[in-house]
Structure 1
Amino acid sequence: MALNLTDIVEEARLSARALWDYGDSFFNPTVRLGVTGLSRAGKTVFITALIHGLTRGGRFPVFEAYASGRIARARLEPQPDDAVPRFDYENHVRTLVEERRWPNSTTDISELRLVIDYQRQNGADRTLTLDIVDYPGEWLLDLPLLSKSFEQWSTESLALSREPLRAELAAPWHQHLKTLDAEGREDEQAALKAAKLFTDYLRACRDERFAMSLLPPGRFLMPGGLAGSPALTFAPLEVPTGGTAPDGSLWAMMRRRYEAYKDVVVRPFFRDHFARLDRQIVLVDALAAFNAGPEALHDLEAALAGILDCFRIGRSTILSALFRPRIDRILFAATKADHLHHQSHDRLEAILRRTVAKAADRAEFAGAAIDVVALAAVRATR
């Protein structure tokens, strides 16, 4: 009953926020574009290059509105969300152009507002406000946790960690797991050590040699201000899926902290940011998965399917905009295409399209438009 009440409250808050956003955009047309991708996919460079190209004049041969001269100008304006960090565009440009190095990776959410003056195909002048929301792709993989109990998550995480490539990386954590009594008394030091070893395992999986993609909880690898808090100090346990945790046990302690993680981290992200997006770009470092082998590619496929399942997708209508916003266009982009000869770009797109095929079919059935492209935000090779 408590879970149902929580869901009802969250839906009411989402509807209220959607109604506010719709009223604001009625007089000032606004599109909220989410840009995400798993680690090292190139989110920061992509957004920087996109803004630089639109505001300073770049080459966008396949962007018809820009290529045909219908975009008069684009300019930056202060972002609307005072509680969200600003995307540090100017510093990222300086890092790329003057220092000739890559900017730091995305570790938190950020936002930037771009106002575009353009001409419609019928000749009418219009202004579009584009709010670009940058967030780590690992946070997306946390959203399915909202519908899973601690026991379900533990079972799935342990099964995944015992797959051939992951088992060796998880060995130190598995050894510690054998020493834990889930039904024994709660133990802070045991929880701290289990959380550290579990996080070490997740970090090892993300190494470019293995390039694993399924690594929830996402905040374990980028804790920010929550580092060391109880909400990030838990780990899977060997417990039955339908079991009941004894009061005062290590099991009850871990489950309580898992629920706190959902309340403190996952639900606010979904409510305040994710559920408000209109369009979505998902950047994919497919080449890293190819180089790491078939296990990494299979892992990437499962991660992308999980990401698509997280989206509230479907054809956008006035009713949905008012009460249940939907993402009606999603672009999957295979980044770093400049590492390949241009004649191979179609093959890279084809592989990515096949990787997301099953999930894309469900999205298109719901009325959302899905596309796949190979791109390079910055040409860094010859």
Structure 2
Amino acid sequence: MDEKVSEWVAAMRGAPDASRQLLAGWLGKQTHRFTITGLSRSGKSMLFTSLMTMLKYRTEAGYECLPLLTRLPTSLVDSMYMEPLPGFEMFPVDEHLAALESGKWPQATDTAYGFRLIVRLTEQGRFKRWLMPYSEVVFEFIDYPGEWVTDLPLLEKTYNQWSDSAWAQQSGGPQHRFSTRWREFIQDFDFEQEPTEARIAEVVSEYRAYLAEAKREGITMLQPGSFLLENDSLSLTSMGFSPLPSTVTSDPSHPWLKAFTANFSAFKKDWLAPLKDKVFREADKQIILIDVFEGLNHSREHLYQLKETLSHLAETFVYGESNWLSRTLLRREKISKVAFVGSKADSVPVSERDALLSLLTQLTEGARAKFGDKEVDFEHFLVSAIEATDEGEARNAVRYRNQHGDYVEASFEPFPKTLKDMESDTHYPVLDINVPKDFLPRILNSRGMDRLLQFLLG
């Protein structure tokens, strides 16, 4: 044995237990920081609930869920526990499970939750076990409203730039059909009036009504999404704004332009920038959760807009491989692993999942282009947070309990494998699935989560 190594081992043998435990925690802790980027209704809350439930039963009950997850071998798991991240409320997993027990799907997230999931593994080697009796795998997660994530690109824009882009989106594509009332309101509004607090509130209220309607109709690129949620920290009096017509934005001296520019700046400075610093922490792994089926339910135009939205969102994150200096000393992380996850895969027949995966791959083309030549490892996955349907009698069908408790079968036409293959006026039904009474085994036996975790931990 090398002389220096022998001296170090001898010193360690005489080290107090507390010092050894400190060293064990220092060397034996593996931390994975995740950012889960999901638009509204993409299924983030259910994904968290299922993940935590699976790991709990795998650890405490020895249940053989997540069969492909070799990175956390069941035989070596000593314990698992959760704790909140500083500055965040704990994720309400018990409330979500209680909702499922009562036959209701968990409520959508309306604030930020943060938690750590710590899995303690026993060491096998004799020497390593003496030095470090256990190692810990730490998962750090933050759950947040999907409406927030579409706002991040605004940090890089001026008010005029955003206003012009908002009108461009509303003048074509699916947004055009749902913005008629809003555009008529703006056309008839008298901007020669002074922008009093009451008049600004009137314009912002009408714009929020448009945003809410567009969201109900499956539109994904809505800014600011924060306006769709009630939050005491977001003052629409001092931070409220909307797009303004070009006759206003072309005049730098116009009182309405000055008022909305000031509110836009306050929104970014006092709401959006602090939100990004707190909630969208630097992470080394990213899950981008995508409900492809929501777009299929509406139209091909919705899918093209979803593709554009994902491309814009990718611009707000830092990708690449972190080195030891930036990660350990500077505490700066880059995202080096990205999982593009198609959620609610149980909503489609098994026979159509290859086509669904093909569509998912095409929808992420723009986002992946943002990686450039950076070292980013990525894969595409189809995941069911809960296997809420069964295979139908026909190959292209699924069976499920509807909201009336009836066990029904739904058949599907073949899915397109590319966006251009989809008829412009074709849409696929969203199933009105009730929470299954046997929801727990359906969570524990849901598909795709083990492959997803194996990729992220590898």
Residues 269 and 228 (structure 1), Cα distance of their counterparts in 2 relative to 1, 3 Å cut: closer
Q: Given that residues 41 and 146 in structure 2 are in contact (C-alpha distance below 8 angstroms), is that contact kept between their aligned partners in structure 1?
A: no
Query: Is it true that 1:352 corresponds to 2:360 in the alignment?
Result: yes
Q: CA RMSD in A?
A: 2.6
Quote how far apart the aligned CAs of 1:258 are: 0.8
Query: Is it true that 1:163 corresponds to 2:155 in the alignment?
Result: no
Aligned-partner Cα distance in 2 for 1:371–1:172? 41
Partner of 1:220: 227
SS at match of 1:224: coil
Quote how far apart the aligned CAs of 1:198 are: 1.0
Quote how far apart the aligned CAs of 1:140 are: 1.9
Aligned-partner Cα distance in 2 for 1:122–1:213? 51
Aligned-partner Cα distance in 2 for 1:163–1:25? 55
Deviations 1:43-75 (A, max 9, x none): 111101101101112521332224x53651452
What number of residue pairs does the alignment pair up?
353
SS at match of 2:242: coil
- 1:197 pairs with one of 203, 206, 211: 206
Partner of 2:342: 334
Partner of 2:147: 138
Matched-pair identity in %: 24
Quote how far apart the aligned CAs of 1:328 are: 1.4
Partner of 2:82: 77
Aligned-partner Cα distance in 2 for 1:204–1:26? 52
Query: Is it true that 1:111 corresponds to 2:119 in the alignment?
Result: no
1:88 maps to a residue whose letter is: P
Quote how far apart the aligned CAs of 1:253 are: 0.8
Q: Comparing both chains, which one has the higher relative contact order based on Cα–Cα distances under 8 Å and sequence gaps of 6 or more? A: 1
Q: Given that residues 283 and 335 in structure 1 are in contact (C-alpha distance below 8 angstroms), is that contact kept between their aligned partners in structure 2?
A: yes
Residues 166 and 318 (structure 1), Cα distance of their counterparts in 2 relative to 1, 3 Å cut: same
Residues 155 and 80 (structure 1), Cα distance of their counterparts in 2 relative to 1, 3 Å cut: same
Aligned-partner Cα distance in 2 for 1:377–1:163? 35
Structure 2 unaligned segments of length 5 or more: list them: 1-24, 129-133, 391-458
Q: Given that residues 108 and 136 in structure 1 are in contact (C-alpha distance below 8 angstroms), is that contact kept between their aligned partners in structure 2?
A: yes
Partner of 1:320: 326
Query: Is it true that 1:211 corresponds to 2:218 in the alignment?
Result: yes
Q: Given that residues 197 and 237 in structure 2 are in contact (C-alpha distance below 8 angstroms), is that contact kept between their aligned partners in structure 1?
A: no
Q: Given that residues 29 and 135 in structure 2 are in contact (C-alpha distance below 8 angstroms), is that contact kept between their aligned partners in structure 1?
A: no
Partner of 1:52: 53
Structure 1 unaligned segments of length 5 or more: list them: 1-23
Quote how far apart the aligned CAs of 1:156 are: 0.5
Quote how far apart the aligned CAs of 1:251 are: 1.4
Partner of 2:310: 304
2:74 maps to a residue whose letter is: G
Residues 306 and 344 (structure 1), Cα distance of their counterparts in 2 relative to 1, 3 Å cut: same
Partner of 2:39: 38
- 1:63 pairs with one of 66, 69, 83: 69
SS at match of 1:178: helix
Partner of 2:292: 286
For normalisation by structure 1, the TM-score amounts to 0.84
Aligned-partner Cα distance in 1 for 2:248–2:379? 38
Aligned-partner Cα distance in 2 for 1:168–1:110? 35
Query: Is it true that 1:127 corresponds to 2:136 in the alignment?
Result: yes
Residues 170 and 271 (structure 1), Cα distance of their counterparts in 2 relative to 1, 3 Å cut: same
SS at match of 1:32: strand
Rg comparison, structure with higher value: 2
